[in-house]
């Protein structure tokens, strides 16, 4: 009896040591900050507002992961607020919500200007851009906010720049590489020149003219319409709409059905 008690105690101590050695995941943020981020999304981010509760949890988790992975750099003002970080991260998560393995890994920096900024290269004012060499996504906070203030305008610089980053990410050989389904990508490549020509001829008035600049701008602009003029986009150009939905693995018309796990 004493012997079996000794074995039991040894096993118990062994288990306790083993249990203690299992690393507990470090929380991303203190609870009070999590609540603050949650409140920002609930107040200002329409995409988040229409999600079901389990999806909201997943969305929030991914927003916080994005915030931790990226360096937010203010340009000409101070400081970058929690609201700026959460909203910009949320636009990236919105675009990639159907692609849970994609974190825009190449882009390590988010450069933020308070307003539209002058580029000495293009000699124009910019609302945003993506710079793969600097591994940076650049945004004018003023224009970013305007994009989410009216989510039916079809203009959203946050989604636009994230779309450029996403398309590049698919080509850059790293952990985020070739995540677009091949068949859908081929289909998309086949449709783009046809639509660009249509816009140039003034026949596809649904998309703004800027979409016809090149294939990259076409992708970025259609992403804006995909989230902001969803119903009309699907009605007018279903083939293009469903190809984009396949690429992004989500459909804003039925996003409540996205499985999270």
Q: Angle CA(217)–CA(222)–CA(226) in degrees, nearest 5?
A: 155
Compare residues 122 and 182 and give the one whose CB is closer to Zn ion: 122
Q: Quick one: DSSP state of residue 172?
A: S
d(CA 127, CA 161): 9
**Spatial distance between the Cα atoms of 152 and 199, rounded to a whole number of angstroms:** 21
* Comparison of 221 and 247: residue with beta carbon closer to Zn ion: 221
- Measured from the CB of residue 156, what is the shortest distance to Zn ion in angstroms? 12
Cα separation of 248 and 95, whole Å? 7
Which of 220, 245, 248, 258: binder of Zn ion (CB under 5 A)? 220
**CA atoms of 64 and 71, how far apart (whole Å):** 13
CA distance 13 to 163: 53
- Total binding residues toward Zn ion, as defined by CB under 5 A: 2
Coil, strand, or helix at residue 66?
helix
In whole angstroms, the minimum distance from the beta carbon of 21 to Zn ion comes to 50
State the nearest-atom distance from the C-beta of 51 to Zn ion, in Å: 27
The residue among 206 and 219 lying less far from Zn ion, judged by its C-beta, is: 219
d(Cα 43, Cα 25) in Å, to the nearest integer?
29
**DSSP character at residue 210:** G
- Least distance in angstroms from the C-beta of 217 to Zn ion: 5
Shortest reach from residue 235's CB to Zn ion, in Å? 25
Give the closest residue to 43 by CA, choosing from 173, 145, 180, 131. 145
Find the shortest distance in angstroms from Cβ 132 to Zn ion: 13
Smaller CB separation from Zn ion, 220 or 247: 220
State the binding string over 87-126 for Zn ion (x if CB under 5 A, else -). Answer: ----------------------------------------
Query: From the centroid of its chain, how far is CA 39?
Result: 19
For residues 167 and 217, which CB has a smaller minimum distance to Zn ion in the complex? 217
Here's the x/- map for Zn ion, 174-213, by CB under 5 A: it reads as ----------------------------------------
Q: Which is nearer to Zn ion, 166 or 220 (CB)?
A: 220
Residues at the interface with Zn ion (CB under 5 A): 217, 220
């Amino acid at each position: 009896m004493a012997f079996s008690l000794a074995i039991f105690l040894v096993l118990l101590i062994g288990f306790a040591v083993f249990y203690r050695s299992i690393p507990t995941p470090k929380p991303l943020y203190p609870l009070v900050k999590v609540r603050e981020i949650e409140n920002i999304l609930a107040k200002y981010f329409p995409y988040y507002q229409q999600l079901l509760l389990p999806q909201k949890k997943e969305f929030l988790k991914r927003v916080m992961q994005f915030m931790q992975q990226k360096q937010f750099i203010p340009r000409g003002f101070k400081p970058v607020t929690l609201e700026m970080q959460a909203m910009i991260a949320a636009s990236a998560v919105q675009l990639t919500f159907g692609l849970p393995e994609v974190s825009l890994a190449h882009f390590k920096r988010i450069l933020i200007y308070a307003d539209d900024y002058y580029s000495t290269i293009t000699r124009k004012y910019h609302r945003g851009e993506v710079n793969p060499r600097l591994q940076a996504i650049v945004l004018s906070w003023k224009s970013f906010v305007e994009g989410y203030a009216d989510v039916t305008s079809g203009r959203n610089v946050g989604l636009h720049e994230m779309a450029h980053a996403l398309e590049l990410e698919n080509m850059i050989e790293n952990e985020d590489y070739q995540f677009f389904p091949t068949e859908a990508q081929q289909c998309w490549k086949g449709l783009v020149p046809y639509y660009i020509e249509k816009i140039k001829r003034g026949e596809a008035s649904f998309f703004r003219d800027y979409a016809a600049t090149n294939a990259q701008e076409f992708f970025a602009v259609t992403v804006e319409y995909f989230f902001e003029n969803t119903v009309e986009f699907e009605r007018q150009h279903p083939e293009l709409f469903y190809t984009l939905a396949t690429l992004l693995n989500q459909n804003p018309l039925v996003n409540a059905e996205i499985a999270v796990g």
